[in-house]
Amino acid sequence: MADNKNAGLQARKDAATPRGVGVMCDFYAERAENAELWDVEGRRFIDFAAGIAVTNTGHRHPKIVAAIREQLDRFTHTAYQIVPYESYVELAEKIIARAPGDYPKKAAFFTTGAEAVENAIKIARAATGRPGVIAFTGGFHGRTMMGMALTGKVAPYKIGFGPFPSDVFHAPFPNPLHGVTTADSLRAIEHLFKADIDPKRVAAIIFEPVQGEGGFNPAPAEFVRALRKLCTQHGILLIADEVQTGFARTGKLFAMHHYDVVPDLMTIAKSLAGGMPLSGVVGRADIMDAPAPGGLGGTYAGNPLALAAAHAVLDIIEEENLCERATALGDRLKAKLIALQGEVPQIADVRGPGGMVAVEFFKAGTREPDADFAKRVQTRALERGLLLLTCGVYSNVIRFLFPLTIQDAVFDEALAILEGVLKETVGVTA
């Protein structure tokens, strides 16, 4: 009775794990290779989710597997704060050399993106002696208490979990499709300074260069310049959250390389270690040194297996020209979606730098977000073996996070599935 393995596992999952851990798929992974995965019943899927932007270098890249195996033969854990190891220091050196900004920098490593964000806020507060933080609507910064406070989307992340840490304020993020201009956002920040918090009490402004969960909304260049100017004027630190945008996804190693200004601190995670849990904060050396010894760290922070994987990831990005490939694949996908706009009137916008592409849906002939259409496209694609993720404040956006190492034939197969699903879904109401 091999054909009911998924159903059996689903029943066990429902009995043993809480409903708060939302799970998109009702099938269970058996194995994966590059941009494909197979479930326990042998069905094949093309992975355009990449573990939520974690496997930019694909599933089980041979260089990553080899690096982890080599480290396994040496040691798996000492706790870096107890007995340090060279791979941590060497990765910090590599990240420092590659991060934007020609000032002296330092880097520290943690485990998850939320940990990186938490520590960036801790560092900013220690460096400035100020409590306040400004974030943006639509932003996503994690599921910890501070991460939720910073996140600008209520459902499902904040419901029932308050109260949240104080001195966190939100301003609207530029989104021309929804009528929010850069000027609107900047006016809102100035209003915060007048109505809610003295800028002299603000430690940091944190933003995503391209909002992830918020809908793959790129920050306009003039907006980032204005944030930099505002921060410099008031002694506020600018934090770029590159957890989802980093490591070649946008066509640059980091999304901030698309801009002509630099942040003071930057958070990294997700594809940093090709599937292994690793995150970090990199920034100005004097700011990074603000916390006292023992103020930063974590038992598993900078795990040696994850560090080994991260060294391999940086080599793969360079050797396989993944920044350029991200742009080439993203351009092909955007061209396909734009060409379909005439046949799929629900397509309101196609956007995103490099391989960080999204399509947003409105109800045909209106300016009303169409979450139902996005969900039907996602469901139909999954039925045909293509994994897609939705996002956006209105859940009406599909984001594409294919591994940048995906084979051309598999990518073309996925585009054909996507085109068929979009055309089929037009006019369907249930």
Q: Please, which residues bridge with residue 341 across strands?
A: none
Of the listed 140, 169, 207, 402, which one is catalytic? Answer: 140
Rounded CA separation 204/191 (Å): 16
**DSSP string of 298-335?**
-TTTT-HHHHHHHHHHHHHHHHTTHHHHHHHHHHHHHH
CB 249 within 8 A of CB 404: yes
CB 36 within 8 A of CB 410: yes
Written as six digits, the tokens of 201 are: 């009490």
Q: CA–CA distance from 173 to each of 137, 195, 213, 244, 404 (Å)?
A: 6, 19, 13, 17, 28
* Residue whose structure tokens are 């798929």: 25
Written as six digits, the tokens of 258 are: 């698309």
110 part of the active site = no
Of the listed 105, 153, 252, 270, which one is catalytic? Answer: 270
Of the listed 47, 241, 349, 370, which one is catalytic? Answer: 241
Query: 120: alpha, beta or left, given left = phi > 0 and alpha = psi -120 to 50?
Result: alpha
Phi, psi of 103 (to 5 degrees): -90, 165
Q: Is the CA virtual torsion 20, 22, 27, 28 positive or negative?
A: negative
Written as six digits, the tokens of 422 are: 């979009």
241 part of the active site = yes
254 part of the active site = no
Q: Which residues are catalytic?
A: 140, 241, 270
